[in-house]
């Protein structure tokens, strides 16, 4: 069945700070369970009922109104037959309704299946089918896509106004006493390396991560978070819970563009947010970036490697701290942060910048090691390369209905094998050099694509680039680069190859360069090297 979310809050927050609805208390077993995502919203509404919670354009909702709306949606789900353990698919942009869906589905005991709004209908059908979702939640902007998905199933179509007319918030309750190990969300991996798999995250995984993020990032109620990266992806979704945990303010941008994102940062006095490097790269290179005044205290970046030149532009543009993050869908997501300790903050500025550009030290509660092909830890000399492996309470218990993939993902000690190659230094700071599957072997030499990309990003004409290996009859593989030039800029392949040769060994430099209007990306904004290799 398909459920429109358009009018979820049609009586709540129609104008900034104008809503005055009374909080409806929910007395049910949910409140006894202290490891449920819904508790974050209950606590925020209890302790900060009148704080500005959710902002989207001219809409503004307080925490007590957000709780009431979540109760109402949860009751509607239960009235529609949704029971604990059922899967509810969510096809929504970055909106207030998406936020409410995260909490209402958790509170009802169901499992949220996060759908990438940028996928094709057939891809989404496959995910909905694999997850066994019994209801699809959407809004006007995704209604047509929802109809295409629903066409493959026998479920009927329902609208929110008729659905909500016959339920009350008092009907919303949680049937199970203990939900700590229950699955809360299923996220399907972006498929950059193969067929997407459904990553299961429990209430404990997500709650543990949110509380750790509060401590690591010193989050507080005066923080204003901008949901600029897609909420269907953990690059942003984790903040839905961490910011609510401190009763901070959520600001939503339904559709990302560099100019609109910069405007939100400035006009809404955003203090902290997380973006993928491709988004940040476009924002700092946007001519209007320097025309705004910002209140950002920390800019986070994760999901892919970022060039030091882009980091320097971030520091200059926003006059804030920069934190490199690294994580996976399987780990809720953060595994490391490039936050500097007291000793590191005493270092010269150039050395501090170098450390900020690294992958960072382990996130709170994460046990991390870097091992060679035999499973032995590599030397902490920042030279030896090995695979990052991790374990902890934020790590998934496996993939949905896929025991083979689950077994293959963990080693004999229960560490998740990330597939990311890195070095580690004496401080315990790791630095990713490449994905295992992206390492290029050419003529017996090993080339790490991120090293070559970092050099290319220094060229003033380059907006975006991706480096990867393609088959070569003589060398096994050759280094290839796909490049997008900045507007009104020009460069030749020969020029870029020679530019690289001035900074790195010639065997590492691209042997072929192709110019594209844009690079293929996943829904979370990561560049799809697999797609580039396939069409080379």
DSSP string, 159-197: -HHHHHTT--GGG-----S--TTSEEEEEE---SSSS--
Same-domain status, 306 and 164:
no
Does the predicted model carry a pTM greater than 0.85?
A: no
Give 25's DSSP letter.
Answer: P
d(CA 321, CA 295): 11
Evaluate whether residue 232 is within a structural domain: no
For residue range 138-166, list pLDDT tens digits in order.
988 998 999 888 876 654 344 333 333 44
3-state SS class at 4 = strand
Same-domain status, 109 and 187:
yes
Same-domain status, 472 and 403:
no
* Residue 48 structure tokens: 């900060």
DSSP codes, 504-520 = S-GGGS-SEEEE-SS--
Buried b / exposed e across 370-392, counting CB within 10 Å, b at 16+?
A: bbeeeeeebebeeeebbbbbbbb
Mean pLDDT of the chain: 87
Looking at residue 169, what is its pLDDT? 43
Instruction: Check whether 77 has a pLDDT greater than 60.
Output: yes
Please tell me the total count of domains within the chain. 3
Q: Which of 211, 243, 274 is the last residue of a domain?
A: 211
Same-domain status, 417 and 326:
yes
Instruction: Check whether 183 has a pLDDT greater than 60.
Output: yes
Looking at residue 191, what is its pLDDT? 53
Same-domain status, 106 and 67:
yes
3-state SS class at 207 = helix
* Residue 233 structure tokens: 């992806």
Angle at 155 between CA 154 and CA 159, to 5 degrees: 150
Evaluate whether residue 284 is within a structural domain: yes
Same-domain status, 166 and 113:
yes
For residue range 290-319, list pLDDT tens digits in order.
999 999 999 999 877 788 889 999 999 999
Same-domain status, 195 and 285:
no
d(CA 222, CA 211): 17
Number of other CB atoms surrounding residue 165 within 10 Å: 8
Contacts of residue 317, defined as CB under 8 A and 6 or more positions apart, other chains included, come to 283, 284, 289, 290, 294
What CATH number has the domain bearing residue 505? 3.30.300.30
Q: Which of 435, 465, 496 is the last residue of a domain?
A: 435
Same-domain status, 90 and 9:
yes
Domain that holds residue 419: 256-435
Residue among 331, 325, 313 nearest 272 (CA): 325
Same-domain status, 42 and 126:
yes
What CATH number has the domain bearing residue 204? 3.40.50.12780
Same-domain status, 405 and 510:
no
């Amino acid at each position: 069945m398909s459920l429109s979310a358009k009018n979820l809050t049609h009586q709540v927050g129609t104008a900034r700070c104008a809503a005055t609805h009374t909080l409806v208390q929910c007395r049910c077993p949910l409140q006894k369970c202290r490891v449920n995502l819904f508790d974050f919203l209950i606590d925020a509404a209890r302790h900060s009922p009148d704080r500005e919670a959710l902002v989207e354009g001219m809409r503004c909702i307080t925490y007590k109104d957000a709780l009431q709306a979540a109760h109402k949606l949860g009751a509607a789900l239960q009235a529609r037959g949704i029971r604990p353990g059922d899967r509810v698919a969510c096809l929504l942009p970055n909106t207030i309704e998406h936020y409410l869906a995260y909490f209402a589905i958790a509170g009802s005991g169901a499992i949220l299946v996060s759908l990438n709004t940028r996928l094709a209908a057939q891809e989404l059908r496959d995910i909905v089918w694999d997850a066994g979702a019994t209801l699809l939640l959407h809004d006007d902007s995704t209604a047509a896509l929802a109809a295409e998905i629903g066409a493959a199933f026998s479920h009927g179509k329902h609208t929110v106004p008729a659905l909500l007319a016959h339920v009350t918030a008092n009907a919303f309750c949680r049937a199970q006493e203990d939900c700590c190990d229950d699955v809360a969300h299923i996220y399907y991996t972006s498929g950059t390396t193969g067929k997407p798999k459904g990553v299961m995250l429990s209430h404990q995984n997500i709650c543990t991560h949110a509380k750790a993020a509060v401590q690591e990032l010193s989050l507080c109620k005066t923080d204003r978070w901008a949901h600029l990266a897609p909420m269907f992806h953990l690059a942003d979704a984790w903040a839905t819970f961490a910011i609510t945990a401190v009763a901070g303010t959520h600001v939503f941008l339904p559709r990302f563009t560099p100019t609109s994102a910069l405007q939100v940062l400035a006009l809404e006095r955003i203090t902290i947010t997380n973006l993928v490097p491709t988004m940040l790269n476009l924002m700092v290179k946007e001519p209007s970036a320097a025309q705004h005044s910002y209140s950002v205290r920390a800019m986070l970046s994760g999901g892919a490697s970022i060039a030091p030149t882009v980091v320097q532009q971030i520091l200059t543009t926003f006059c804030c701290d920069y934190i490199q993050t690294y994580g996976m869908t399987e780990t809720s997501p953060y595994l490391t942060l490039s936050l500097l300790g007291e000793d590191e903050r005493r270092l010269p500025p150039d050395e501090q910048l170098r450390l900020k550009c690294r992958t960072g030290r382990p996130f709170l509660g994460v046990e991390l090691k870097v091992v060679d092909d035999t499973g032995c830890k590599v030397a902490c000399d920042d030279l030896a390369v090995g695979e990052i492996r991790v374990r902890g309470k934020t790590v998934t218990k496996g993939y949905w209905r896929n025991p083979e993939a689950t077994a293959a993902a963990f080693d004999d000690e229960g560490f998740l094998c990330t597939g990311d190659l890195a070095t580690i230094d004496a401080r315990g700071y790791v630095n990713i050099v490449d994905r295992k599957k992206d390492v290029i072997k050419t003529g017996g030499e090993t080339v790490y694509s991120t090293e070559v990309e970092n050099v290319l990003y220094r060229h003033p004409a380059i907006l975006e680039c991706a480096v990867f290996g393609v088959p070569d009859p003589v060398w096994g593989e050759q280094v290839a680069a796909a490049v997008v030039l900045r507007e009104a800029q020009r460069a030749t392949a020969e020029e870029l190859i020679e530019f690289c040769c001035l900074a790195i060994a010639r065997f590492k430099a691209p042997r072929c360069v192709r110019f594209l209007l844009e690079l293929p990306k996943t829904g979370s904004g990561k560049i799809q090297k697999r797609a580039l290799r396939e069409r080379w």
